[in-house]
Amino acid sequence: METFSKLKVLIGLIYLGVVALVVFLFFFYGANSFLDVDFLKNNKDKIFLFRNEHFLSLTITYFFFAIVWVFLLGFGTPLVILAGFAFGAVWGSILSVVSFTIGASLLYVFANHYFKDLVFHYLSSKFLKLKNHFNENEFSYFFFLRVIPGIPFPIKNVMPVLFDMKLKNFFLATLFGEAPGIAIAVSIVSGFSNAIESNAELNLNLLYTPEIFLPLLALGFMVVFTNFLKKKYLTK
């Protein structure tokens, strides 16, 4: 039993070490600069040529990288930008939703096994009050939490550890709850990507093109809808 406990500690430390290393490398090499608008505009020909010639390998790489990224507590925004730019609205949304859901589920299982005490220590004071809601219907309530913005994506992925949520309900609530927000964000980025690819001038007039205006309209509706859900279910 003691050996097993030491093994859990060792695996947990290795995981935290890998997370710290990835964060360090991300900022040390300025990986965020690759998502800068100027960089994308200046290198668009090379980027789109590479995408067209290696679409399948790029798809597979993105899919598995996204799973690992989310598993390592990564935020979804950089990958959403990449997906919209490289794969377009539909394919980028599908890839992101499925890979994010798998990565989040793996993280939940891992955290539930190796970091349960840590999750309770840091999150119980803020989220344990939701236990009654989860006991009533954990799928529906976690679905609402997934849809409603405000809680950081990595926190949402480990928070259900507090309630010992069933993996099946976690997976399905994540899949359907994150899908609207991801699809809207990917579609907006895809609209800008198409504008860059066609050498269109990047100005406010782009906001009125259907590729960008319709996702923004959906985003506005989603904000109103989630605020309604927040007032109804999270203020009790």
Is the model more confident about 65 or about 213? 65
pLDDT value, residue 110: 92
For the chain, the structural domain boundaries read 2-233
Q: Is residue 1 predicted with pLDDT exceeding 50?
A: no
The C-alpha torsion from 33 through 174 and 143 to 109, rounded to 10°, is: -110
Residue (of 89, 69, 93) closest to 182 by Cα position: 93
DSSP H stretches of helix in the chain: 2-28, 37-42, 44-53, 55-71, 77-87, 89-114, 116-127, 131-147, 153-158, 167-197, 210-233
Residue (of 195, 217, 124) closest to 164 by Cα position: 124
Q: Is residue 233 predicted with pLDDT exceeding 80?
A: no
Is the model more confident about 150 or about 170? 170
Structure tokens at 204: 């406010």
pLDDT value, residue 69: 92
pLDDT value, residue 236: 52
pLDDT value, residue 200: 63
pLDDT value, residue 31: 62
pLDDT value, residue 171: 96
Q: Is residue 47 predicted with pLDDT exceeding 60?
A: yes
Phi and psi (nearest 5°) for 198? -90, 10
Q: Is residue 101 predicted with pLDDT exceeding 60?
A: yes
Q: Is residue 33 predicted with pLDDT exceeding 70?
A: no
User: DSSP code of 1?
Assistant: -
Q: Is residue 229 predicted with pLDDT exceeding 70?
A: no
Residue with tokens 């039993």: 1
Residue (of 147, 71, 54) closest to 114 by Cα position: 71
Phi and psi (nearest 5°) for 83? -65, -45
- pTM (predicted TM-score): 0.82
Residue (of 148, 168, 151, 149) closest to 159 by Cα position: 151
| Banded model confidence at residue 205, pLDDT cuts 50, 70, 90 | low
Structure tokens at 217: 């309209």
- Assess contact for 170 and 105: CB atoms under 8 A: yes
C-alpha distances (whole Å) from 99 to each of 76, 109, 175 are 11, 16, 10
Cβ neighbours of 23 (radius 10 Å):
13
Q: Is residue 2 predicted with pLDDT exceeding 70?
A: no
Q: What is the mean pLDDT of residues 72-101?
A: 89
Q: Is residue 157 predicted with pLDDT exceeding 90?
A: yes
What distance in Å separates the CA atoms of residue 183 and residue 178, rounded to the nearest whole number?
Answer: 9
What is the rounded average pLDDT for all residues in the chain?
80
pLDDT above 90: percentage of residues in the chain: 25
Is the model more confident about 6 or about 164? 164
Taking each helix axis from N to C terminus, what angle separates 210-233 and 167-197, rounded to the nearest 10 degrees? 150
Listed range (25-29, 77-81, 203-207) with the worst mean pLDDT: 203-207
pLDDT value, residue 181: 87
